[in-house]
Amino acid sequence: MADIVPTEVRSRMMAGIRSTNTKPEMMLRLALHAAGFRYRLHDRRLPGRPDMVFPRRRAVLFAHGCFWHGHDCHLFRLPGTRPEFWREKIDRNRERDMVAESALSALGWRCGVVWECALRGRTAIPISDVIFQCVAWLQSDVPRLIIRGRG
């Protein structure tokens, strides 16, 4: 299937997609801050540059976009244009995620992932429920947290 926009326009559109301060990340940050949690953002000293780092609790939280991290949900669909390129790119992102989480665990950090489909779309969970789960996890000693959309 041919792309419906010129290459230059598509390139500009893709370059405009942020890797930090995304809407799902901002929703989590605002709600966790309001709940009294303090964190560091995108700490380059840690593997994978976690979205939120809670040093006192030795925990990190990632807000993963379902498309870019290849989540198996309704928000992910492999593009019809250059599918092999996208498959390789998303597979590299998945592998990078696994390596970063393994490295963080080896360093004694607890890792949490909140998927975009938990915050928006037809499988979204109320933000209050997502934050409740995050708060409960941060206050516990449980090593891993994964929050996906319903279904």
H or E segment to which residue 41 belongs = strand 40-41
pLDDT digits (tens, 9 = 90+) for 55-103: 999 999 999 999 999 999 999 999 888 899 999 999 999 999 999 999 9
Token digits for 75? 């928000």
- The residue with greater pLDDT, 9 or 50, is 50
H or E segment to which residue 93 belongs = helix 83-106
- What's the whole-model pTM score? 0.88
Looking at residue 9, its pLDDT comes to: 78
Q: How far apart are CA 62 and CA 23, in angstroms?
A: 13
pLDDT digits (tens, 9 = 90+) for 87-97: 999 999 999 99
Average pLDDT over residues 128-139: 98
How far, in Å, are 49, 76, 110, 138, 145 from residue 100 at the CA level?
A: 8, 22, 12, 19, 15
pLDDT digits (tens, 9 = 90+) for 1-11: 566 778 787 67
CATH of domain 17-147: 3.40.960.10
